[in-house]
Copies of this chain bind each other. A is one copy, B any other.
Amino acid sequence: MTPVEFIMQKRNGPQHDRESFLEFFNGYITGDIPDYQMAAWLMAAFLNGLSTEEKVWLTEAVIHSGEQFDLSHIPAPKVDKHSTGGIGDKPSIVLLPLLASMGVCVPMMSGRGLGHTGGTLDKLESIPGMTVQLPKEKYIEILEKHNGVFMAQTPSIAPLDKKLYALRDVTGTVESIALITASIIGKKMTEDLDGLVLDVKYGNGAFMKTIEAARELAESLVDTASQMGVSTVALITDMNEPLGEYVGNSVEVLESIAMLKGERVESRFEHVVLSLAQEMCHAAYPEDDETDWHVKLVDQLKSGKAYEYFERIIEAQGVSAETVRALPNCLSLASECVNVTASADGYISEIDTYRIGRLMVTLKAGRMKVTDTIDPSVGLRMLVHAGAQVKEGEPVAELLVNEQIDPHEFNECFTISEKKPVFHDLIRERIA
């Protein structure tokens, strides 16, 4: 089959066969298939979709395009979590040491912030000395010793995904459920996992704006990963307001440390972390139907065991013992506080979470371009939830900044209504 015949097959609808599918994608990796032919195929795939089998083949092509982890010598069950991203989205920082303390191996590969969302790696780097970019052998060594490591994706992992994403970005083919599925699952499957838990966000601060779109993505992700033999569950969670009390880098680490130490934290954040953690426990210990994972997890937090693992892991990743002892006070925090205020009396009916994310980027809490630098010290503290009753001029959030700024654009992110609005549950659905 020629490349043109392959493109026409997707254009006309019928399913590809495995052999010609892999041939086309291998040709793209070697450069025999030029960008313009892949661009035509991507648009045809965007509009006509991919079958479950085709998603599995594309995922396989992504995995096999680069290096993979082989963790077969580690006896612990290997489970990871992936979030589709949002504002204040920090569960990974808690989940990794928490699950590690439960005997689960978590080879977690995270990303950096781009666009309106922050990135776990950027947040962690607000801890002085923290190094997320390590040689593969070092990652494996830390995993062997401490059950968890915060990893960055190296250029040798899933290079096909990088090449495809760069092309999708310039050809209007990013928001395809099928292509997103292969990208996410392909990268995660290089970690040699037994189980995967997905946090699929929906709402105005998420990539998927509607519950329907989030459900479609969650089903596609679970379906594809399960077909590849990895036990996978997705929770669809609300992103119509930031998750937790804080948005930023230092402040999100601060909040995560508080939770890891068993301190009282914002309830939505705690709920999402514990729900995801329970799913990870179920994936790690599928035979165990006696343990009350919620009780056990809370105990790991209250007893300080989870925080102990956090300390060990970040020390193994370059943070000095002195810094570890000085946490969280050694985190850099901006000195000025600016109030974000309600524009009227009433109820907060909507929080423009996407816009909050974009505004935080302008304060350097995130980046628009890969080459932008981040100021870890700036942050936003949410004082209310969507639905809260407020008075005009009352603070609804606080900005932590290095110089006084006009907060009116932040004020505009909070819509006030006269009637008390009704909201959905934080965790909308579970897809398995």
Q: Judging by beta carbons under 8 Å apart, are B39 and A172 in contact?
A: no
Of A42-50, A67-75, A77-85, A139-147, the stretch lying at the interface with chain B is A42-50
> A170–B37 Cα gap in the complex (Å)?
7
A39 to B36, CA, bound (A): 6
CB contacts (< 8 Å) of A172 on chain B: these are: 4-5, 7-8, 11, 40, 44
Q: Give the residue name and chain of the B residue nearest to A173 (CB).
A: B40
Residues on B with beta carbons closer than 8 Å to the beta carbon of A7: 43, 171-172
Bitwise interface map of A from 127 to 168 toward B, beta carbon under 8 Å scored 1, else 0: 000000000000000000000000000000000000000010
B-side contacts of A34, CB under 8 Å: 35-36
* Shortest beta-carbon distance from A345 to chain B in Å: 39
Residues of B within 8 Å of A173, CB to CB, are: 11, 40
Q: Among B5, B8, B40, B169, point to the contact of A39 (Cβ < 8 A).
A: B40
Q: Interface readout for A1-45 with B: 1 if CB under 8 Å, 0 if not?
A: 001110110010000000000000000000000111111111110
B171/A37 in contact, CB under 8 A? yes
Per the bound structure, the CA–CA distance linking A170 and B172 in Å amounts to: 20
Is A40 a contact of B42 with CB atoms below 8 Å? yes
Selected from B4, B35, B44, B46, the residue in CB contact (under 8 A) with A36 is: B35
Q: Given A36-B35, A38-B36, A4–B43 Cβ distance below 8 Å?
A: no
Residues of B within 8 A of A3 (CB): 170
Interface of A is mostly: helix
A213 CB to nearest chain B CB (Å): 14
Q: Residue of B at shortest CB range from A171?
A: B40
The residue from B5, B8, B47, B169 contacting A44, defined by CB atoms under 8 A apart: B47
A171-187 interface bits toward B, Cβ cutoff 8 Å, 1 = contact, 0 = none = 11100000000000000
Question: Which residue of the partner chain, among B43, B167, B169, B170, contacts A43 with CB atoms under 8 Å?
Answer: B43
Chain B hits for A44, CB < 8 A: 43, 47, 172
* Complex CA–CA separation, A47 to B47 (angstroms): 8
Given the complex of chains A and B, what is the CA–CA distance between A167 and B35 in angstroms? 12
Nearest to A42 among chain B residues (CB) is B40
Do B43 and A11 touch across chains, with their CB atoms under 8 A apart?
yes
Given contacts A7-B172, A8-B172, contact A167 B36 (CB under 8 A): yes
User: Lowest 9 CB-CB distances: which A-B pairs, in order?
Assistant: A7-B172, A40-B171, A43-B43, A8-B172, A36-B39, A35-B36, A39-B39, A39-B40, A40-B43
Interface residues of A (CB under 8 A from B): 3-5, 7-8, 11, 34-44, 46-48, 167, 169-173
New A-B pairs, 8, CB < 8 Å, besides A37-B170, A40-B43: A7-B172, A11-B46, A34-B36, A35-B35, A36-B167, A39-B43, A40-B172, A44-B172
A-B contact pairs, 8 of them (CB 8 A): A7-B43, A7-B171, A11-B43, A11-B47, A36-B171, A39-B43, A40-B43, A40-B172
